[in-house]
């Protein structure tokens, strides 16, 4: 099946959005290499603008919107926070108005960041359905364009620029570990890796309790309909001198403990540290230890 975007579009996204983004560093650690028994290359998207890789897809999508419609009434999205911050940032860079729908229980640090970028916050119930409906309502009332967090080729293409930079720096990677939720980042990275280094395998990493791997293998949708959120501290993927959020930790865990199961075992592995936005007031061990 042909895909609606490829390496060419990812390169275009990089030209379009690159000046609003950081080229994030690729970090290595001899100590972690020893623990893992292979070479690990950490792509530090926690140091990206807005604190997560999401700025890439959002900037690509918002600047495409501006190219297509210079008089655009703006953009609207729904997000637990990282994509919301990213779209708010991108809209500010592009000079477009922006509304962000967030569930009532979104960490405060993420809400404040969205508002600081000048976007309007709209609260909804903490369910995927409520988010979608509220977002659609705003779009139909205001004419703003919806920038979906992952089901949007402009967003996926922007996320592909992570792999573009990573494979430019380490061209002979034989695997990349990508924390997955909706799959926008994984899609962008997989398409880019196939174009640049076809031998490189891309492994999505999901928190325990999700059914993605089982569903793909059985070719059946095994999760509840409508979808429910998983109870996990990796809140960004429930659908530290270096501060990384729990979603990034999922890829680090997989790099250290799970690659033995893979044949042939990869030797040079990219690990996407996808974000660093941590709400310090809501770390589970802070509550457990009575530190609050």
Nearest to 261 by CA among 201, 211, 199: 201
Are 169 and 23 a contacting pair, CB within 8 Å?
Answer: no
**String of contacts with ligand PLP for each residue 134-173, x by CB under 6 A:** ---------------xx-----------------------
Q: What is the C-alpha to C-alpha distance for residues 247 and 229, in angstroms, rounded to an integer?
A: 14
**184 scored as a contact of ligand PLP (CB under 6 A):** yes
Q: Give residue 172's region: left, alpha or beta (phi > 0; psi -120 to 50).
A: alpha
Instruction: Verify binding: residue 13, ligand PLP, rule CB under 6 A.
Output: no
> Treating both helix axes as pointing N-terminal to C-terminal, what angle do 54-68 and 7-17 enclose, rounded to 10 degrees?
80
Among 247, 254, 255, 278, the residue binding ligand PLP under the rule CB under 6 A is 247
Say whether residue 65 binds ligand PLP (CB under 6 A).
no
Q: What CA–CA distance (Å, rounded) separates 183 from 197?
A: 20
182 touching ligand PLP, by CB under 6 A: yes
274 binds ligand PLP (CB under 6 A): yes
- 110 contacts 81 by C-beta, under 8 angstroms: yes
CB count within 10 Å of CB 25 equals 12
C-alpha to C-alpha distance for 110 and 277, rounded to whole angstroms: 7
Does residue 186 interact with ligand PLP by CB under 6 A? yes
Cα separations in angstroms, 170 against 193, 200, 257: 12, 11, 22
- Distance in Å, CB of 129 to ligand PLP, minimum: 17
**Which residue, 65 or 245, has its beta carbon nearer to ligand PLP?**
245
Binding mask 217-236 for ligand PLP (x = CB under 6 A): -------------------x
**Contacts (CB under 6 A) with ligand PLP, residues 70-109:** 82-83
Task: Determine if 24 is a binding residue for ligand PLP (CB under 6 A).
Answer: no
Number of amino acids touching ligand PLP (CB under 6 A)? 20
Three-state DSSP at 26 gives strand
Q: Where are the beta strands (DSSP E) in 158-278?
A: 175-179, 201-205, 268-273
According to CB under 6 A, which one of 162, 245, 252, 266 is a site residue for ligand PLP?
245
- Choose the stretch contacting ligand PLP; rule: CB under 6 A; options: 140-148, 163-171, 175-183, 224-232: 175-183
* Chain contacts with ligand PLP (rule: CB under 6 A): 52, 54, 82-83, 149-150, 179-186, 236-237, 245, 247, 274-275
């Amino acid at each position: 099946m042909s895909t609606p975007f490829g390496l060419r579009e990812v390169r275009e996204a990089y030209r379009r959005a690159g000046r609003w983004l950081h080229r994030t560093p690729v970090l290595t650690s001899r100590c972690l290499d020893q623990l893992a028994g292979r070479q690990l290359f950490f792509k530090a998207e926690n140091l990206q603008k807005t604190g997560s890789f999401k700025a890439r897809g959002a900037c690509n999508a918002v600047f495409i919107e501006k190219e297509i419609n210079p008089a655009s009434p703006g953009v609207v999205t729904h997000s637990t926070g990282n994509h919301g911050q990213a779209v708010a940032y991108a809209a500010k860079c592009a000079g477009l108005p922006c509304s962000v729908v967030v569930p009532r229980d979104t960490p405060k640090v993420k809400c404040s960041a969205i508002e600081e970028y000048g976007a309007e916050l709209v609260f909804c119930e903490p369910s995927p359905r409520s988010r979608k409906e509220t977002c659609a309502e705003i779009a139909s009332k205001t004419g703003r364009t919806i920038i979906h967090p992952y089901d949007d080729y402009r967003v996926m293409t922007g996320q592909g620029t992570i792999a573009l930079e990573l494979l430019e720096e380490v061209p002979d990677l034989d695997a990349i570990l990508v924390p997955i939720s909706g799959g926008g980042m994984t899609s962008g990275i997989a398409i880019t890796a196939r174009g640049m280094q076809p031998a490189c395998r891309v492994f999505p990493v999901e928190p325990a309790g999700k059914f993605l791997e089982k569903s793909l293998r059985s070719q059946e949708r095994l999760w509840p309909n409508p979808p429910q959120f998983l109870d996990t501290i990796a809140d960004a993927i429930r659908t530290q001198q270096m501060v990384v959020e729990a979603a990034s930790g999922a890829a680090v865990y997989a790099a250290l403990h799970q690659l033995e199961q893979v044949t042939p075992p990869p030797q040079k592995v990219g690990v996407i540290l996808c974000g660093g936005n941590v709400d310090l007031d809501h770390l589970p061990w802070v509550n457990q230890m009575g530190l609050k």
